[in-house]
Amino acid sequence: MSDSRPTKRQRNEAASITRSAIWYKDGSVVLQAQDTQFRVHWSVLAKHSVFFKDLESLPQPNPADLPTVDGCPVVEIQDAVEDVEHLLTALYDPSFLTQTTLPLATVGALIRLGRKYYFKVLLDPTVARITFENPTTYDSCDALLVDGVYRPTRIMVSGGFFFDLLMLAQENNILSALPTAYYRAAKRGPARLLDGVKREDGTVASLPLVHLRRCIVGRDRLLSKQFQPGYTLGWLRQWQLSDCKNSSECDRRRSAMLSHYLDGNVVGALDKFEAHDVRKAFCATCCQHFLDSNATGLKKMWEELPGIFDLAPWDQLKNDL
């Protein structure tokens, strides 16, 4: 069978090869991913990548046996063309990683290939974007909210963002990011979890069964736990303040808030209520009780968040890159 297969050189000639815009005329090596070639400098690859540096110390094949393009050896790599484009762009453009916000596709490419080829200079700051958006302390997580809603600033939101980010962290052992990543995915609700969410390119972001199960089971646990005494929304069900200044109005407001969560099956386990909003709705006594209970419950919920998704406790969720 193997005798009938075309040689590498023949395949290169037969296939329709695309030359990438990343084509340095003085480059010394041509990387080929799928049907696309990139002409770059071996010295640049070796300077920033342990993998390429180590390759130099291995016995080199006879150059006559290697396919060449414009006199440069062609090295085939088994990676997506888009990922290689992102990697090489970041490697050659010092300003690339200084951008405040990067698309998730770029972040994913730099993490996947940064790990595979040990480009530490690209990997570390990119992983930092994930851990910034998915912190391990409640206060850092709270700081990411704008008017009570999470707004990413280091990674651009796109269709399927929460599912894709969860899988990126999962597949690359960024374990500390998982509790918040599962939480945000689980908040999407059963229909989106089961149907997936469309990306801009028309493909659908969805979760493999094991992670889908964690989200659905975790969501169920959150919906139950968030109303228990001592948790984030427990005060909505336990409200008996003898010194309430306006019991009928405060109770009416409390019921309305409880209905919002119950009727809509809304996960609010990490919902923080702002003092200025609460003061408008409740008497001073209830307001203080409300804010204190919410703050205490949030911290308790945060500590238990990893366990909700069957993860190890926070202090054991070490990133393994």
Residues near Zn ion, by CB under 5 A: 244, 250, 283, 286
Task: In angstroms, give the least distance from the CB of 218 to Zn ion.
Answer: 34
73: three-class secondary structure by DSSP? strand
Nearer to Zn ion, 87 or 286 (CB): 286
**192 vs 214: CA distance, rounded Å:** 14
CB nearer to Zn ion: pick between 118 and 290: 290
Helices (H), ranges, the chain: 8-14, 42-48, 50-56, 81-92, 104-116, 120-133, 138-142, 161-171, 178-186, 190-195, 209-225, 247-263, 275-281, 284-308
- Specify the length of the chain in residues: 321
Closest CB 280 distance from Zn ion, rounded Å: 13
User: Least separation, in Å, of the C-beta of 246 and Zn ion?
Assistant: 5
Q: Which is nearer to Zn ion, 11 or 252 (CB)?
A: 252
- Minimum Å distance from CB 147 to Zn ion? 25
| Residue with Cβ nearer Zn ion (45 or 283) | 283
Nearer to Zn ion, 270 or 287 (CB): 287
* Order of strands across the sheet that contains 18-23: 18-23, 36-40, 29-33, 72-77, 68-69
The residue (of 5 and 280) whose beta carbon lies closer to Zn ion is: 280
46, 59, 73, 105 from 63: Cα distances, Å? 19, 12, 8, 36
d(CA 123, CA 128): 9
Min separation Cβ 289 and Zn ion, Å? 8
3-state SS assignment for residue 282: coil
Cβ distance to Zn ion smaller for residue 214 or 254: 254
User: Whole-angstrom Cα distance, residue 169 to residue 166?
Assistant: 5
Quick check: 36 and 81 in contact, CB under 8 A? yes
CB 232 to Zn ion: min, Å: 20
The closest of 127, 183, 176, 180 to 316, measured between CA atoms, is 176
Q: How far is the CB of 248 from Zn ion (least distance, A)?
A: 9
Phi-psi domain of 239 (left: phi exceeds 0; alpha: psi -120 through 50; beta: other): beta
